[in-house]
Amino acid sequence: MLTPALDALRLFLHVLAASVWVGGQIVMLGMVPAARKISPDAPRTLARAFARLSWPAYGLLVVTGVWNIFAESSVPHSTAWNVVLGVKLAVVALAGVSALLHTRSTSKVGLAIWGSIAGVTSVAALFMGILLAGSWS
Ligand code: HEM
């Protein structure tokens, strides 16, 4: 009886965390040039504030992602679904590592490269999540 409610809670938390992790990075991309005009230190202050939200969201993605896998393990899935899941996990790991290297970077080139990789891999993980949730599985 509780299963549909728990499924809704699991997917709600996963999507909420994805919206903070992915959407936040896109918003930061738009805010940083404007923040730079306010003060040279403003982008760093914004980035620190975002990190306080984005890392808990990443943690919630991993926890609810593992919950998703357990919940989905009772349903048979195609090889393609399992391949998408495997690729998604690698892409999520790359997103986390590159976001970490982005925050630790001291050069402009490092910030740009690691920030771009974190953004592209996070959007790719979002797309693969939609694939996994589709009805073809
Ligand atoms: C950047 C990180 C991630 C993003 C942006 C992301 C995004 C998403 C989205 C949007 C969905 C579709 C949810 C729905 O509406 O049904 C989804 C589903 C799924 N995700 Fe993630 N996810 C991430 C990390 C993870 C991780 C770390 C795991 C595993 C440890 C995972 C496993 C899954 C599974 C198995 C599904 C299918 C759930 C179902 O259909 O019941 N995800 N993901």
Question: Token pair for residue 51?
Answer: 């990190």
The per-residue pLDDT for 1 is: 64
- Is it the case that residue 102 has pLDDT exceeding 70? yes
pTM assigned to the model: 0.94
- Is it the case that residue 136 has pLDDT exceeding 90? no
Arithmetic mean of pLDDT over the chain? 96
Determine the distance from the C-alpha atom of residue 42 to the mean position of all C-alpha atoms in its chain, rounded to a whole number: 24
Q: Pocket residues for ligand 1 (CB within 6 Å)? A: 11, 14-15, 18, 21-22, 61-62, 65-66, 68-69, 71-72, 85, 89, 92, 95, 122, 125-126, 129-130, 132-133
Atom 33, ligand 1: residue with shortest CA distance:
65
Domain boundaries, the chain: 3-133
For 68-99, write each residue's pLDDT tens digit. 999 999 889 999 999 999 999 999 999 999 99
Element of type H or E holding 68: helix 42-72
Q: What is the Cβ-side half-sphere exposure of residue 136, based on CA atoms within 13 angstroms?
A: 10
Ligand 1 atom nearest 122 alpha carbon: 1
Q: Mean pLDDT throughout 36-45?
A: 95
CA distances for 103 relative to 34, 52, 82, 119, 123, angstroms = 19, 12, 32, 13, 18
